[in-house]
Structure 1
Amino acid sequence: MLFDGFALTTRTVNGVPYRFCLGGSGTLLMLLHGRPETHAMWHKVAPALAAHYTVLCPDLHPERSLAQQADDLLGLADSLGHESFILAGQDYGARVACEAAGLEPSRVKALILLESLPGPDHTGRDDMAFSLTHYESCWFGQRHPKPEANAVQIPAEWLDDPIAEDSFFSPEAVKDYLSASVWRSSTPFSWPASRLDLHCPVLVLWGEKGRMGGWYDPVLPWQEVSTGKVIGHALPGEHFLPEEVPEETLIAIQDFLNDISTRSTSSGERKPWGS
């Protein structure tokens, strides 16, 4: 059973229904999913985090702009009675998290960003070689006859029935990914033209088997757009880190939260982790 001890519910914010899992108590920790998944991607790490936090895992609305979704999430936090919170997001979810941190910097106490880079800086540095490493784009660099017709928006193994026993994807989670309507009306994504301006502590995580660490030192671009402390390191996965390497992902998040809570305690603020 996914999300043991959590409640799955829907709440309307700004006229938009948000489906989410909610569990635990304490400081609010929002976990935002990436493409092409749903909130279910966090099922291997959320229960452990809920031992010390109120953990909220919503389905995003990529048919809405980043700013609209960020405003929705701020409203969702309000409706749950939380003024301040911590945000974690993977790829697309990290972009929404950064937008929320930009809209209300005083409310977002920390950011945890998985498999993501700052937009304008990244866009100005990539080239054709980088673009052809993207999952869909690589098909268009192949020879005729039109192998791009075989490109799909999801990992091919998700279509196996049953999913291979050695897959790190949970069959229950994949069922949710394939049945949910999250991405069906999504709009093309583009970063805002303005430069990111982050002020809270930031943890950056990426897969050592993936592409990002081969093209960048991912911590450096985030340091350029943040006045807060930015740390990070690679994990022994490829891209879907909370599912591929949940233990390592959980330890990295816990260590980061312990560090920022220790520093907050020393400055006289409330300690969220382990409280």
Structure 2
Amino acid sequence: MTLTLLPEATYHRVPVAAGVELNVAVAGSGPAVVLLHGFPQTHLMWRHVAADLATDYTVICPDVRGYGDSDKPAEANQETYSKRTMAADVVAVAKALGHDRFALAGHDRGALVAIRAGLDHPEAVTHLLALDVLPTLDMWDVLKGADAKVAWHLYLMAQPAGVPEPMIQATADTFFASFLDGWTNSPDAIPAVYREAYLEASAGAVPSIVADYRASAGIDVAHDQADRNAGTTLAMPVTVIQQDWGAALGYDARALWSAWAPRLHHTTLNSGHFMAEENPAAVSHALRELMKR
């Protein structure tokens, strides 16, 4: 069974770099909104939100580099899957589809790409919505002691090439299913057909997924630190929606985000991690309100 974002969506193979094309679904018409998926998912996680937004906007949903049906270049170095590289991919997709400026929303890994796009390409990103993440530099800073076990996969996939890949590949379904099943408060939010699609796509992308995470423990931290040292912030209006896990881990998420986003609206949501599937109405409403700012 071939799943599509929406029945009316059109699909494109968009070149973004030498030898790299992204799989991109497009629906609706009007101002552009780019939606970036998280781990361990594909662009299909946006199906509910896209259906709502496509009545007023051109909705652009790529599988990001290394995931889903997009190309998965070999990791030549950490630049291959740095968020800077992946953010440039997103800008290239929007431009190829005729949009020099666009609103940008991201969940999980996609939110990290969105943050980097906002920092590197403020001329292109008009509004930014981030779902259930902290910026990379802050994420590593707050993970301390026994509480850091909630992010055990970050440490596993940060290891040198050749160490985590065979370990994950050997039990890929169990590994990826543990996140799909453990991070949701509403098991029926991800129907079986989508769950299987996510598992299949992830099992076929272990090296590139690991490379994405490895970059976040190295070059992405360096890029964030350089921006912090330079005082670079997100110039556009920013909305952040998170679970209330900041309190549980002993930090103030709003304060951390405020240092990056002077025009911040920060809120928590009674939801599991997969907000766009568990509470799509709230996510759509937040994005629509953001674009009024």
Tell me if both proteins adopt one fold, taking TM over 0.5 as the criterion.
yes
CA contact (8 A) 1:131 1:137 kept: no
The Cα offsets for residues 134-181 of structure 1, whole Å up to 9 and x where unpaired, read as: 264899xxxxxxxx998943234969xxxxx96210233223212224
User: Measured at CA, do residues 30 and 128 of structure 1 come closer, stay the same or move farther in structure 2, by a change above 3 Å?
Assistant: same
SS of the equivalent of 1:231 reads strand
Of 256, 261, 264, 1:221 maps to 256
The match for 1:57 is: 61
SS of the equivalent of 2:30 reads coil
Of 81, 103, 108, 2:125 maps to 108
1:185 and 2:202 equivalent? no
1:233 and 2:262 equivalent? no
Letter in 1 for 2:48: K
Residue 59 of structure 1: CA displacement? 0.6
Residue correspondence of structure 1 range 189-208 to structure 2 within 5 A: 189-190=216-217, 191-193=220-222, 194=226, 195=228, 197-208=233-244
More helix by share: 2
CA contact (8 A) 2:177 2:199 kept: no
CA contact (8 A) 1:39 1:59 kept: yes
The Cα offsets for residues 52-90 of structure 1, whole Å up to 9 and x where unpaired, read as: 111111111246221111111111111111110111001
1:82 and 2:99 equivalent? yes
Q: Quote the Cα distance in structure 2 between the aligned partners of 1:254 and 1:32.
A: 16
User: Measured at CA, do residues 10 and 166 of structure 1 come closer, stay the same or move farther in structure 2, by a change above 3 Å?
Assistant: same
Q: Quote the Cα distance in structure 1 between the aligned partners of 2:187 and 2:135.
A: 34
The match for 1:270 is: none
CA contact (8 A) 2:5 2:25 kept: no
User: Measured at CA, do residues 150 and 254 of structure 1 come closer, stay the same or move farther in structure 2, by a change above 3 Å?
Assistant: same
Q: Quote the Cα distance in structure 2 between the aligned partners of 1:69 and 1:84.
A: 17
Consecutive unaligned residues of structure 2, counting only runs of 5 or more, are 67-74, 76-80, 157-167
Letter in 1 for 2:87: A
Query: Mean alpha-carbon deviation: is it higher for 90-99 or for 120-129?
Result: 120-129
Aligned residue pairs, count: 243
Q: Quote the Cα distance in structure 1 between the aligned partners of 2:33 and 2:238.
A: 14
Letter in 2 for 1:105: P
SS of the equivalent of 1:112 reads strand
Letter in 1 for 2:208: S
Residue correspondence of structure 1 range 93-172 to structure 2 within 5 A: 93-134=110-151, 136=153, 152-156=174-178, 167-172=188-193
User: Measured at CA, do residues 23 and 2 of structure 1 come closer, stay the same or move farther in structure 2, by a change above 3 Å?
Assistant: closer
Consecutive unaligned residues of structure 1, counting only runs of 5 or more, are 140-147, 160-164, 261-275
The Cα offsets for residues 197-227 of structure 1, whole Å up to 9 and x where unpaired, read as: 211110000124xx34533432221111123
The Cα offsets for residues 179-203 of structure 1, whole Å up to 9 and x where unpaired, read as: 2245542201233322362111100
User: Measured at CA, do residues 158 and 239 of structure 1 come closer, stay the same or move farther in structure 2, by a change above 3 Å?
Assistant: closer
The match for 1:37 is: 41
Q: Quote the Cα distance in structure 1 between the aligned partners of 2:207 and 2:119.
A: 27
SS of the equivalent of 2:65 reads coil
Q: Quote the Cα distance in structure 1 between the aligned partners of 2:139 and 2:233.
A: 15
Structure 1 vs Structure 2 CA RMSD: 2.8
CA contact (8 A) 1:132 1:138 kept: no
CA contact (8 A) 1:32 1:88 kept: yes
SS of the equivalent of 2:176 reads coil
The Cα offsets for residues 67-125 of structure 1, whole Å up to 9 and x where unpaired, read as: 11111111111111111011100111111011111221111111100011122233223
1:13 and 2:16 equivalent? yes
